[in-house]
Amino acid sequence: MIYQRISKMLLLGLLVLPLASCSDDNNVVNNDKLNGDSQFGKANDVFEASEWYPGGELGTDEGMSYSAETPATTNQGLSNSFNKGEDFFEHLYTITEAPRKGLGPAWVRSSCIHCHPNYGHGKFQNQYQADQFGNGYLLVIYHPTAGTTADGKDYKANSYITEVTGMPQTKAMTPFSAPVDEKQINIQWNEVTAMPSGLAMKFPKDGETFALQYPEVTIPQSAFNTNPKPANYEVRLESTIGIYGTGLLDAIDQDDMKKVYQDEAKYGVELNPAMWDKTANDWASTAWYKLADGTKMVKKFTYAMTRASLQDGPGANAIWNITNVTRSDRHYLYTTPAWAKYQSEDPEVISYIKKHGADESSVLHPYYADTDEGIKERVNEILSCNNAPKDGKENAFEKYLLKGAPYNGEEEMSNKDYYDFMVWHRGLAVPAARNLDNAQVQEGKKLFTQWGCATCHKPSWKTGSDNYWVDNAIKAYAKSIGQDPNTMLPKYPNQTIYPYTDLVQHRLFMANDIRTGWCRTTPLWGRGLSSMLTGRSDRLHDCRARNVVEAIMWHCYDKRSDAYKSALNFYNATKEERDAVVAFINAI
């Protein structure tokens, strides 16, 4: 594989890095298990023994890696599928070359690892380039206020524009033009000169300064190759998060999530009304996500809380819509009618297909017809086919792309390949905690708890029975080999895990904030290894924080922030106390 896991022997040479000031935000990367210290896995006055294993016994890797498989994966005999699934994550997709074929007709990235460098968080960028390794940014293009589109459709405030896909695409196969011309995307990083909270940008106890920055993104109308073009829109950036441990989060029972919401509501925490009905003290109707088979589950994934089950969530969905690679349960494209219309009206597109699409071996043959008008209609019909077939009726995707030449009924991604990918995705381990016997780290945990940080960054959860939901593609593969689909993925029942998230959305009221202002608390587990494993320590949803200190100070940027009081404690602390909290966050 391209990206080998860091060997334990190599790591021994990295374990002597000293603690540094919080302004430098160096990571404490010592791991007692690796250097032979007998304190690894043992309880002390501050940490329980189980806290060395943030993913529980079934979900923790004792090395320092984001790419290792969980013990559950190994124990269930799924290592071969895990390794095959890893291959789909680590390599480029192409238009025609198996086994990673089917890229396009438009796409966000040509591989998963482009956005998740070395399996971690996306990296700070000052230019949007889809082919740039480490660019984990997704464009968020939305209407800041309610209005009506050029074709007469009403939209609500904060809703995504409909002219391009929810995760906008900046790449397309010849002869199509990408929905968004990335050369016209401008990212400007602005330095904060004063915080609305009135706090000076230096710590009062010792005068150490800190800096804050945030991105401002603009895309002119001319960049949109759609008809109609969007109006009344703003742009934000959202970066990918680390993907390790998502199978463990999937195993958290929604009834336990409900208890956390009820507890926070009881203590006066303002909760997103899209998730929580304050009057009923129960889930809001919009908190439920409808899965492919009609099953309803409470949303828990993504910053915006848009997905419920992992098998219909970040990975299962992304392997389709990031690449536009279809499979048996996704017989439709990730496209929009506005883009399809624009392409069908482009004479250069029609001319190119007329010249190169007649040959049945050409990937353009599905778009070919005997006349220019026929090609125009075919292009519009296929590229606008963004819904699944209904009532057993064949849609344009099935008629032309799947069943017609040159595909002749062959799926772009087989059920077996997709199954292997989901074994890998659900089977990624959380790296073991480090330095929990260190006095500075222990002091950091005490302060983190005393200051109220653990309210939102809830330390631990107990997983449920982990009776995960299974999608139709895996069910079909299980049936083909005579297996029970409910036993074919890594399972994590009854595990005590330490992700440090309450799985609740909160508001920080930052400059150029996330789309709705509401953002799910990001898990902290394993993030202290980011600098070593990915080369950067960027934090928060758009990588605006270059280190832990900046991330914390964004929490008290505005007095309205849900975390203002907790972050204010950090602001008013001594340098020794701040360094201790940073060391703790980097250790868990």
Residue 36 has what pLDDT? 55
Residue 454: Cβ-neighbour burial (10 angstroms; 0-12, 13-18, 19+): middle
Amino acid letter, 132: Q
Q: In this predicted structure, what is the pLDDT of residue 33?
A: 54
Confidence of residue 17 (pLDDT cuts 50, 70, 90): very low
List the Cα angle 417/419/421 in 5-degree steps.
70
Give the residue ranges of DSSP H helices in 160-253: 246-250
Segment 90-94 mean pLDDT: 96
Express each pLDDT in 52-77 by its tens digit.
999 999 999 999 999 999 999 999 99
Percent of the chain whose predicted confidence (pLDDT) is above 70: 94
Q: How far is the C-alpha of 286 from the C-alpha of 275, rounded, in Å?
A: 6
User: Residue 289 has which token pair?
Assistant: 């996500």
Write out the two tokens for 416.
């077996």
Query: Tell me, what's the pLDDT at 37?
Result: 59
Residues 516 and 519: their CA atoms lie apart, in Å, by 8
Under 8 Å between Cβ of 45 and 439 = no
Give dist(CA 263, CA 224) in Å, integer: 45
Query: How big is the chain by its Cα radius of gyration, in Å?
Result: 24
Structure tokens, 268? 């006066």
- At residue 114, the pLDDT reads 92
User: Residues with Cβ < 8 Å from 65, sequence gap 6 or more?
Assistant: 5, 6, 429, 431, 533
- DSSP letter string, 61-83: ESSS-SSPBPHHHHHTT-HHHHH
User: Token digits for 467?
Assistant: 């009776």
- Neighbouring CB atoms inside 10 A of 57's CB total 14
What is the 8-class DSSP label of residue 397? Answer: I
Please compute the mean of the pLDDT values over residues 5-12 and round it to a whole number.
32
pLDDT tens digits, one per residue of 18-41: 333 344 444 444 444 554 557 999
Length of the chain: 588
- Per-residue model confidence (pLDDT) at position 4: 35
What one-character DSSP code corresponds to residue 401?
A: I
Please check the confidence at residue 449 and state whether its pLDDT lies above 80.
Answer: yes
Residue-level pLDDT at 20: 34
Instruction: Give 233-261 pLDDT, tens digit per residue.
Output: 999 999 998 899 999 999 999 999 999 99
345-379: per-residue pLDDT in tens? 999 999 999 999 999 999 999 999 999 999 999 99
Tokens at 380, concatenated? 């519009």
pLDDT score, position 13: 32
Mean local confidence (pLDDT), 251-273? 97
Cα separation, 533 vs 525, whole angstroms: 14
Q: Which residue has the higher pLDDT, 251 or 292?
A: 251
Q: What is the pLDDT of residue 35?
A: 46
CA distance 430 to 58: 10
What pLDDT was estimated at residue 219?
98
Element (H, E) at 59: helix 56-59
Side-chain-side CA neighbours of residue 173 (13 Å): 20
pLDDT computed for residue 314 by the predictor: 85
* 313 vs 425: which has the higher pLDDT: 425
Cβ neighbours of residue 92 closer than 8 Å, sequence gap 6 or more: 100, 110, 111
Mean pLDDT over the full length of the chain: 93
- Please tell me which residue, 25 or 284, carries the higher pLDDT value: 284
Q: Which stretch of 2-16, 98-112, 189-203, 461-475 has the lowest confidence by average pLDDT?
A: 2-16
- 172 three-class SS: strand
pLDDT of 241 reads: 86
DSSP-derived pairing of the beta strands 234-239 and 276-277: unpaired
Residue 231 has pLDDT above 80, yes or no: yes
- Residue 404 predicted with pLDDT over 70: yes
Q: Is the pLDDT of residue 521 over 60?
A: yes
Residue 446 has pLDDT above 80, yes or no: yes
Peptide bond connecting 314 to the previous residue in cis, omega within 30 degrees of 0: no
> Does 8 score more than 90 pLDDT?
no
Q: What is the pLDDT of residue 531?
A: 95
pTM (two decimals): 0.93
What is the CA angle 294-489-475, rounded to 5? 45
Span 468-477, mean pLDDT? 97
Distance CA 475, CA 464 (A): 22
What mean pLDDT comes out for the span 216-229? 98
Q: How far apart are CA 6 and CA 64, in angstroms?
A: 8
CA atoms of 360 and 485, how far apart (whole Å): 37
User: What's the pLDDT score for residue 392?
Assistant: 85
- Please report the pLDDT score of residue 242 as a whole number: 84
User: By the 8 A CB rule, do 304 and 517 touch?
Assistant: no
How wide is the angle at C-alpha 259 spanned by C-alphas 256 and 264, nearest 5°? 135
Beta bridge partners of 171: 107
How distant, in Å, are the alpha carbons of 353, 379, 381 from that of 176?
Answer: 10, 10, 14
The mean pLDDT value for 498-524 works out to 98
